[in-house]
Amino acid sequence: MPSLAQQHCLNHPAREAAVQCPQCRHFFCRECVTEHDDRLLCAVCLRKESRQTGARRRPFRALARAVLAMGGLLTATLFFYGIAQALLLIPAAWHDGTLWKSFWSSVQ
Amino acid sequence: MKPSSREPGEGLFDLIEEAVHLLRCAPLSLHAAYAVGALPFVLAFLYFWADMSRGAFAREHAAFGAVGMGLLFWWMKCWQAVFAAAVRAQITGRAAAPWTLRRAGHLALTQLALQPSGLFAVPLAMVTIFPFAWVYGFYQNLTAAGADPVGLGPACKTAAAQAGHRLGQSWLMLGVLSLFTLLVWLNTISAMAILPSLLKTLLGIDTAFTRSGIHSIFNTTYFACSFALTYLFVDPLAKTLYVLRCFYAQSIHSGDDLQADLARLRSRALPAANS
């Protein structure tokens, strides 16, 4: 098997190879590889990998998103329901200002 | 000199000046984006308030009203994120990224999943005082970066990191904003009290406010109206300030502020060179 030093980049034939992609076994220069999960992968393999990971996670991710969205709406609803209950507890005299009216007349 | 004052980034008053300048120079569409979200929420909230405080059957439809308010809160937060994205585009001088279905969906999800917790977290942080600047900043940063198409986890991580950036400045900014809010509220409530009397004196128009006298002021709906109007006046400035803070915090690593300055200089130099 030829050594890395004798190889050239698959995308840039003028450049010497620096890395061998562990997935496709092709040689690449440093600019053509990206680190992913502690491995240096070429762009094509990285794209395949991320597509597979995305597909694996998608059902759970969609479910988690739906739960989070419902949780968010429920939280906001609870908050405004709490405000409604607090407003309902306050006496009507406070809301319509008659409380102040009696206070004002007693002052005068 | 304290270490915090040596930290890179803009000074507080430069930031405030820049935010005011941005809002003054902003196109109408930017203010419209804010109003489209905030006005329905504020109007519905005032109706909800008046209904719950005076309505005869309020108890029966409190839950239904609360769901509606929750949805309108989400609607407002989404439009505030759109407003923040437009402010950011104005700062950088670059055209805003186009609104695709995926981007809009991500924005809607981020705002629905994360913002409602702020309804409880921000008042709690205000009561306990110490984490207030961080918590308030976190939720404002979620709005400021809400239009970026990243996952929920990275969005939280970025917002948290930026909330912790120059925390001293964040406290000082909240102090200035609180003082400004108080002044705006005093102005608003004074205007609300004086306008009916002015209408009667100058134009002879008699309203329910002038007929009720001082008693028209001392009710909860009147105060709720004054707070709602104050929120509408002050919140765009607060949002712009947090967008600027996020922008300068990110620029330490990305150099975006330098690129924005260069773009600005280039746009000024080109017409001069052509003439």
**pLDDT tens profile B224-270:** 999 999 999 999 999 999 999 999 888 887 788 888 888 878 877 77
The answer to whether A81 and B64 are in contact (CB under 8 A) is no
Q: What's this model's pTM, rounded to 2 decimal places? A: 0.78
Q: How far apart are CA B56 and CA B102, in angstroms?
A: 44
DSSP label of A10: S
Whether the ipTM is more than 0.90: the answer is: no
A92–B contact, CB cutoff 8 A: yes
Tokens of B13: 């008053």
pLDDT of residue B5: 46
Residue B161 falls within a domain, yes or no? yes
pLDDT of residue B264: 78
A90–B contact, CB cutoff 8 A: yes
Residue B183 falls within a domain, yes or no? yes
Q: How far is B152 from chain A (nearest CA, A)?
A: 9
The answer to whether B37 and B75 are in contact (CB under 8 A) is yes
Hey, what amino acid is at B257?
D
pLDDT of residue B204: 87
Task: State whether the Cα torsion B120-B122-B123-B127 is positive or negative.
Answer: positive
pLDDT of residue B148: 76
How buried is B144 (Cβ within 10 angstroms: 0-12 exposed, 13-18 middle, 19+ buried)? Answer: buried
Which of A71, A81, A92 shows the shortest C-beta gap to B63? Answer: A81
Q: Cα-flanking dihedrals φ and ψ of residue A27, to 5°?
A: -100, 145
Residue B274 falls within a domain, yes or no? no
Name the 3-class secondary structure at A34.
Answer: strand
pLDDT of residue B2: 47
C-alpha R_g of chain A: 33
Over residues A52-96, the pLDDT tens digits come to 766 566 667 788 888 999 999 999 999 999 999 999 998 877 777
Distances (CA, A) of B274 to B246, B262, B268: 36, 18, 11
Q: How far apart are CA B116 and CA A93, in angstroms?
A: 32
Mean pLDDT of B171-179: 94
Least confident of A99-103, B56-60, B236-240: A99-103
The answer to whether A76 and B46 are in contact (CB under 8 A) is no
Q: A50: left (phi > 0), else alpha (psi -120 to 50), else beta?
A: alpha
Cβ–Cβ below 8 Å for A84 and B48: yes
Mean pLDDT of chain B: 87
Mean pLDDT of B84-95: 87
Q: Kindly state the percentage of chain A with pLDDT values over 90.
A: 18
Tokens of A81: 């329901």
Cβ–Cβ below 8 Å for B66 and A104: no
- Number of structural domains in chain B: 1
Q: B255: left (phi > 0), else alpha (psi -120 to 50), else beta?
A: left
Q: How far is A34 from chain B (nearest CA, A)?
A: 20
Residue B41 falls within a domain, yes or no? yes
Cβ–Cβ below 8 Å for B219 and A97: yes
Residue B275 falls within a domain, yes or no? no
Query: What residues make up the domain containing B148?
Result: 3-269
Cβ–Cβ below 8 Å for A73 and B74: yes
Over residues B108-125, the pLDDT tens digits come to 999 999 999 999 999 999
Q: How far is A50 from chain B (nearest CA, A)?
A: 15
pLDDT of residue B56: 82
